[in-house]
Amino acid sequence: MTRRGGGTAISGLAAQAVWPHYVPDALNSLSRLVLVSGTNGKTTTTALIAAALRAAGHEVWTNPTGSNLERGLAAALARRAAWHGGQRRERSAIGVFEVDEWALASLLPRLSPTLVVLLNLFRDQLDRYGEIDTTAGAWREVVAGLPHTTTILANADDPLVASVAKAHSGRIDWFGSDRLGAAADLDPWADVRGCPSCGEPLVYNAVAFAHLGRWRCPAGDLVRPSPDVAIVAPQPRGVDGLAMTLTADGWQSEAEVPLPGLYSAYNVAAAVAAARALGIGPAEALDAVAQTRPAFGRAEVIPTPHAEIVLLLTKNPTSANQVLDLLADEPERLDTLVLLNDGVADGEDVSWIWDVEFERLRPRRLTLGGRRAHDLEVRVKYAGVQPLNGRVAVEPGIAEPLDWALGRADGRLAVVATYTAMLDVRAVCVARGWTTPYWSDA
């Protein structure tokens, strides 16, 4: 009513105050329920699954704004509430909701989901979540208590996620990679090195990124499962997208998707595998997924009178390093703006930037901003980053560095931003009429 935002949380808080069990009651009333969780890729994967289901003719309820705590789910559900507070047409709808990692551990014991998608576990916001072993332990406990009728879909390439999924007594489906190439060492900043069961150092035949890859425990306590849906020969094409091949059940198909980076290949594979688990053929699902544009802030393109903005969200060392790899794949160096905030949703401890390999950054021009712009300045200095124009501009804040970078950009500006900084950039762009609020299509 005040037009100060999209009500992606406050309406949920109000709903829960009136009806404390509103979220589990509403979710359990849906015909089928899909929950998507993990450190990275939740919003994109949720959107891709929803697209595949809608293309198959299903009504889908979801939380496209990325508000993924219980109050966010309540807000998304409240939009569809009837006058009596219950959900409209709940018996025919399929719910596809992304859920925060810790919210999943709290919410899952109160639900009977059809499918739970576990994407990955990476170090993220230590001041909020703690170490990923803690999150994995909480997941393992609630997954072990799921009914036999629930299907778990898990990332076979993540040993920590695999160890969680194996606690389930019912059906487990897997997605992952195949034919990654020659053996490789783990990245120096990888989060998982030992077997989650016995602690022995894992042996990798190939590494995709971070600790994802083809792994095995040398003691035999945990073995990487064979994926039901596998990524074959992904070919990242910079910020413009990705060429990839998927295989499933003897079927194989190539696709061009408008989602950049190797990490997007995992999101696509998870979405196709989820659709398969829900009775949709992989070919039909991949066709729908390949036509889905990036979610807001996730390689979203925003045209401006000065230059085209490509907005790239970073949350942690893994996502930041993947974005830097993405920029390195560009045939020409890009003008780049990096924004670092320290809000609660970003993580108030920004020491994680020292595990980001800024040494990979090769910008045409480089501008640093956000509330912690000077922390970035120190990190970039030690990384020895040398823009082609020889200067690193530092402008704390959001609008000022954005204007500085846009005024000097040559055609395209890559904006690499933490979560609240990404929202701040979009708010500036909305105020100037360059795009629409991220909640406008919810």
Count of C-beta atoms within a 10 Å radius of residue 433? 9
Q: Could you give the CA distance from residue 120 to residue 37 in angstroms, rounded to a whole number?
A: 8
* Alpha helix stretches (DSSP H) within 82-154: 101-107, 126-129, 132-144
CA nearest neighbour of 180 among 232, 230, 222, 136: 232
User: In the prediction, which pLDDT does 10 show?
Assistant: 74
Residues 6+ apart with CB under 8 A from 163: 136, 140, 196, 197, 222
- 50, 82, 100, 166 from 59: Cα distances, Å: 9, 17, 23, 31
User: In the prediction, which pLDDT does 5 show?
Assistant: 62
Question: For residues 70 and 107, is the Cβ–Cβ distance under 8 A?
Answer: yes
Backbone dihedral angles phi then psi of residue 258, each to the nearest 5 degrees: -85, 30
User: In the prediction, which pLDDT does 91 show?
Assistant: 62
Question: For residues 418 and 319, is the Cβ–Cβ distance under 8 A?
Answer: no
Placement of tokens 């949350």 in the chain? 315
CA nearest neighbour of 178 among 153, 151, 212, 210: 212
Backbone dihedral angles phi then psi of residue 137, each to the nearest 5 degrees: -65, -40
* Alpha helix stretches (DSSP H) within 254-309: 262-277, 282-289
Q: Could you give the CA distance from residue 167 to residue 163 in angstroms, rounded to a whole number?
A: 7
Distance of CA 419 to the CA centre of its chain: 11
User: In the prediction, which pLDDT does 140 show?
Assistant: 97
Tell the burial category of 212 from Cβ atoms under 10 Å away from its Cβ (0-12, 13-18, 19+). buried
Low-confidence ranges of the chain (pLDDT < 50): none
pTM: 0.93
pLDDT digits over 330-380, tens only? 889 999 999 999 998 888 999 999 999 999 999 999 999 999 999 999 999
User: In the prediction, which pLDDT does 32 show?
Assistant: 95
Q: Could you give the CA distance from residue 388 to residue 118 in angstroms, rounded to a whole number?
A: 41
